[in-house]
Amino acid sequence: MLSQNKLKHISKFDRPKLDAPITVRVVFSKTGNLQYFSHLDLQRTWQRVLVRASIPMWYTQGFNPHSKIVFGVPLPVGSEGLEEMVDLRIDREITPAEIKAQLNAELTAEMQVSEVYVPKTSFSEIAWGVYQMTLKTPGDPIDNANAINKILAPDAEPIIMTKRSKSGDKEVNILPMIHSVKAVACDGLIKIRATLRAGNVENLNPEYLIKAMRDRLGILPEDGAMDEVWYRILRIGFYDEAGVEVGKWFR
């Protein structure tokens, strides 16, 4: 996972100490084979990267000191992301440009930092995640796209699925957790833009939409040839409850 770059970083202890620790937000991509990294894998990777990149992290006091790292909404395994976010607590002087350069020197092309800034928003404000989905499946793309729009419309027949949570499994209708879905046919593929519930209170994994398409429409057969049947899920951003974009452009 880690890069083989040999960029020499300034030691944390050569940097002046801040009067008080501050939080910086790092926006990064997680694509390609990294879509199969679990959230725990991601946390462990970032712990190693931050040390190798000599980022001046603030550490707790006591017998088991640890750095303060807080991720945004976890990305489901099997999905890629372009605007993933992590907040870091630092205690020494370093510019956002230095943080970006030093992190990217230790990362691969499948995970790169696009921006670093001091946030004015909290991850708790995230209410919706925006996904781009690309599907390759047998049948007429236009007919399939129209069928997808029909079964995922707000007034469609309820789609009851078993959702797992810390409190146990429960049967839920996923339609109220869908803000909008638009499927179109394009160059023999189906392109979908979906805005789904995301956050600490309620979260809808986009894989539930894939399951609904399989169960209701019979598309994306699991026994299909890999060159004839496949899909890609890419998360591209977040919105708060009022529909304001949260993340890279919203400070």
For the domain covering 126-246, report its CATH number.
3.30.70
pLDDT at 247: 59
Residues 149-198: pLDDT tens digits?
999 999 999 999 998 777 778 899 999 999 999 999 999 999 999 999 99
- Confidence band (pLDDT; 50, 70, 90) for 11? confident
Domain 12-119 falls under CATH 3.30.70.580: yes
**Alpha carbon distances (Å) from 13 to 6, 88, 92, 100:** 20, 17, 8, 19
Summarize the confidence of residues 101-121 as an average pLDDT. 95
* Spans of all domains in the chain: 12-119, 126-246
Summarize the confidence of residues 104-118 as an average pLDDT. 96
If one compares 120 and 148, the residue with the highest pLDDT of the two is: 148
Report angle CA 122, 86, 104 to the nearest 5 degrees. Answer: 145
Phi, psi torsion values for 107, nearest 5 degrees: -110, 165
Whether 126-246 and 12-119 are alike in CATH topology: the answer is yes
Residues 26-69: pLDDT tens digits?
999 999 999 999 999 999 999 999 999 999 999 888 777 788 89
Q: What is the mean pLDDT of the chain?
A: 90
**Alpha carbon distances (Å) from 197 to 117, 167, 168, 241:** 25, 19, 19, 10
Summarize the confidence of residues 128-153 as an average pLDDT. 96
